Amino acid sequence: MNKENKITIDSIKSTINRLSLSDKLNKSQYDGHFYNHLSHLMKFYFLSHLNDKKRQKFKLTERNYHSIEQSIFENPNVVEADNIQSVDWAMVDDAKVIFKNKIQKLLKNEGTSEHLKPIVKCTVDAYEYWLTYSLYFPKSQNNPWIATSNIINNGYLFLVSDNRDVIDQYQKKIYNKVDNNTKGNIGIIAKSSKNDFSGFLVDERVSVQALVLNYLKTHGNGLSNAKNINQIVKHLSEHNNLNSSHLYIKNFVNLPLKRAGIIGSTNSGYYFIDSYEDLLFTYKNHVEKRDAIERTINTFIKKGRDMGHPNFPIKD
């Protein structure tokens, strides 16, 4: 599902025709993409609710999940700078039918099964959201459903739910592997060509992101008040009874908030971006990192060409 080329009904048909179901049931083929999807959803949510104190106790339930999805279409410009493009809704409707028919064909005798209807519906909805957002903002890198499209492209259908009775129909072991805090979160059930199902409940990273954001907005407001990782972990432990590792907070909590443009970081710690000066410092910091990466890449290119490969990094 190419987000860069102009989308037409012919390109849609071509892409859908190439879809297939995986002959494996491998969690690594969908879990990272689903967490990436959630990170993009929460980017919209946090930017829309920076002054909302309720985020301090945010819980990613199924209701909240779908509410965020809908709110993105109602207020996309909290993230997007471009104007919404016009959409051919007849093409979107046709694409949904083509996509659903393809799924049912891939499922063969299971295609019309009542048991699989929730999974088919969730997958079709995700496809529709991806397509609609791609038509709204053709050049955007912020489409939250690019990640779910990657799941589909990897050969999986999926269902998102926080209903234990629903999830138990497909995978009973999921709730035996998590603590009580996680049991109220949404889960994802994945379906490939195999007769079995796979899945997991999402961890607490989204709830912890809300807590860290609230802490930094209150105590780490601006560059001069940056809080280091030790202070953040200590606060979560003392005030929220959370014992998270430094690495978990850094990679799964703070990094998504940084990528959302909500917080910045220096050698002294993390801070809530609250002024033009904070923003400018953060911007320049990222530009310097980008330039350093480009210099390293150029060094590799020169070395490859010096080694007798004039078209490096293209394979000769």
Torsion of CA 152, 158, 161, 165, to 10 degrees: 180
2 pLDDT tier (thresholds 50, 70, 90)? very low
pLDDT, mean of residues 239-252: 93
Report pLDDT digits (tens) over 63-116: 999 999 999 999 999 999 999 999 999 999 999 999 999 999 999 877 678 999
Question: How many CB atoms are located within 10 Å of the residue 114 CB?
Answer: 6
Task: Encode pLDDT of 203-212 as tens digits.
Answer: 999 999 999 9
State the Cα torsion 73-75-80-82 to the nearest 10°: 90
Q: Give the amino acid at 108.
A: K
pLDDT at 184 over 60: yes
pLDDT, greater one: 1 or 214: 214
In whole numbers, what is the pLDDT of the chain averaged over residues?
A: 92
Helices 117-136/146-153 angle, 10° precision: 130
* Neighbouring-strand partners of residue 265: 270
Across 215-224, average pLDDT: 95
Spell out the SS3 assignment of 137-201.
CCCCCCCCCHHHHHHHHCCCEEEEECCHHHHHCCCHHHHHHCCCCHHHCCEEEEECCCCCEEEEE
Query: At 43, is the secondary structure helix, strand, or coil?
Result: helix
Residue 183: closest CA among 207, 215, 158, 159: 207
State which CATH number among 1.10.287, 2.20.130, 2.60.40, 1.10.10 fits the domain covering 205-272.
Answer: 1.10.10
Question: Treating both helix axes as pointing N-terminal to C-terminal, what angle do 229-240 and 205-219 enclose, rounded to 10 degrees?
Answer: 110
What does the domain layout of the chain look like in residue ranges?
A: 9-201, 205-272
148: buried, middle or exposed (CB in 10 Å: 19+, 13-18, 0-12)?
buried
The 3-state secondary structure of 236-304, one letter per residue: HHHHHCCCCCHHHHHHHHHHHHHHCCCEEEECCEEEECCCHHHHHHHHHHHHHHHHHHHHHHHHHHHHH
Whether pLDDT at 3 is above 70:
no
Give the per-residue pLDDT at 111.
65
| Other CB atoms within 10 Å distance of the CB of residue 35 | 17
What digits encode the pLDDT tens for the residues 23-70? 999 999 999 999 999 999 999 999 998 877 655 578 899 999 999 999
273: left (phi over 0), alpha (psi -120 to 50) or beta: beta
List, for residues 145-173, the tens digit of each pLDDT value.
999 999 999 999 999 999 999 999 999 88
* Closest residue by Cα to residue 272 from 221, 215, 210: 221
The answer, as to whether pTM is greater than 0.85, is yes
Element holding 55 (H helix, E strand): none
Are the C-beta atoms of residues 155 and 193 closer than 8 Å to each other?
yes
Instruction: Flag whether pLDDT at 1 surpasses 60.
Output: no
Contact in structure between 160 and 63 (CB atoms under 8 Å): no
pLDDT band, residue 178 (cuts 50/70/90): confident
